[in-house]
Structure 1
Amino acid sequence: MEKNTQTKGFSRANHVGITVKDLEKSIQFYEALTGIKISNRDEIGGKRMAQVQGLKDTRIRYANLHLDNLNMDILEYVIPEAEKASYRNNQISAMHLCFEVDDMEAALKRLKEIEVEPEGEPIVFQEEDGLKSGFGTAVVYFRDPDGTNLELIAPQGPFKRKG
């Protein structure tokens, strides 16, 4: 299938940014969750950075975590001070980050080891769930220390990426 040249560059994602209350606590959480150490820790800010975000001024402490297929920016806003937001998955503009795993049982064991409770019991998609395909795909939702919506998926069928 040939890609439309008007959308060239929009076929892959570079990173996801997650705003957190406490950078150190979140680094510990995401390193424990993924088993990957952060690659960089720094601070950025000033009027130019603020302008691109629609702010008057900003200072951001951050860390970068490189997953196999996506980078994560973990961001602690110092100026302006971050405001708490809380989204349920069914709310408009809510987003979540989904981690792909090969073994759901092993992933659930890892969550338990780092004292993270899933939002509910994991499910495995079956025909009665209303899907036309993807049977055997396992999913579960959970949250990071700041309440960010996260998901685990052990994909099958059309949920499984090619290549």
Structure 2
Amino acid sequence: MAVKNEGFSRANHVGIVVTNLDKSIAFYEALTGLKISNRDMIGGDRMAHVMGLDKTLIRYANLHLENLNIDLLEYEQPAPTVAKYDNNQISAMHLCFEVDDIQKAVERLKKAGIKLSGEPIVFQETDGLKNGYGTAVAYFDDPDGTHLEIIEPKGPFQRENTK
């Protein structure tokens, strides 16, 4: 008999609010090499209430990665506002994609016209880490400024294969 997961040991999805659903679908499909699995609209009083809003109407699309889903959300109601976060601001978040070869991933990003925030780095002892040397990272943003990262993990940054 399977034990139900009543804890918080798995993530299901990350939701990203976007200004233009079609443009964001094109970006995330190019980024991941995957196609969206679902596109729909949701809203109404019950949805607004559970979200703590007066009203809501959202156009959305779902993209299924191996271990996490990405929900792209374009709000029609209430009218969206733009949030601007720097990486060091409290409550700022980013989504990180794990890759096997960061150089190949960077080449792919550049070919797709995606500009990196800076060239990739490989963690060394001089970066203040006690472990994880050899881990490589690079950062970039989606069309709406959502902070994204790619990581080629080593040492404690590696997770057990969950397949």
Please give the range of the TM-score, normalised by the shorter of the 2 chains. Answer: over 0.9
Deviation string, structure 1 residues 59-78 (Cα, Å, up to 9, x no partner): 00000000000001000000
For 2:35, the aligned partner's letter is K
Task: Find the counterpart in structure 1 of residue 131 from structure 2.
Answer: 133
For 1:52, the aligned partner's letter is V
Most deviating of 30-39 and 119-128: 119-128
Deviation of 1:8 after TM superposition, in Å, equals 3.8
Deviation of 1:116 after TM superposition, in Å, equals 0.9
Deviation string, structure 1 residues 60-108 (Cα, Å, up to 9, x no partner): 0000000000001000000111111111110000000000000101110
Most deviating of 20-29 and 111-120: 111-120
Task: Find the counterpart in structure 1 of residue 93 from structure 2.
Answer: 95
Deviation of 1:53 after TM superposition, in Å, equals 0.9
Q: How does 1:94-113 map to 2 (within 5 A)?
A: 94-113=92-111
Deviation of 1:162 after TM superposition, in Å, equals 1.1
- Secondary structure (helix, strand or coil) at the match of 2:22 reads helix
For 2:151, the aligned partner's letter is I
Give the whole-Å Cα distance in 1 for the aligned partners of 2:79 and 2:108: 32
TM-score normalised by L of structure 2: 0.94
Task: Extract structure 1 runs of 4+ deviating beyond 2 A.
Answer: none
Counting aligned pairs with the same residue, the percent is 68
Give the whole-Å Cα distance in 2 for the aligned partners of 1:104 and 1:158: 17
Q: 1:48 aligns with which of 40, 46, 49?
A: 46
Gaps of 5+ in 2: none
Task: Find the counterpart in structure 1 of residue 117 from structure 2.
Answer: 119
Task: Find the counterpart in structure 2 of residue 4 from structure 1.
Answer: none
Q: 2:13 aligns with which of 12, 15, 26?
A: 15
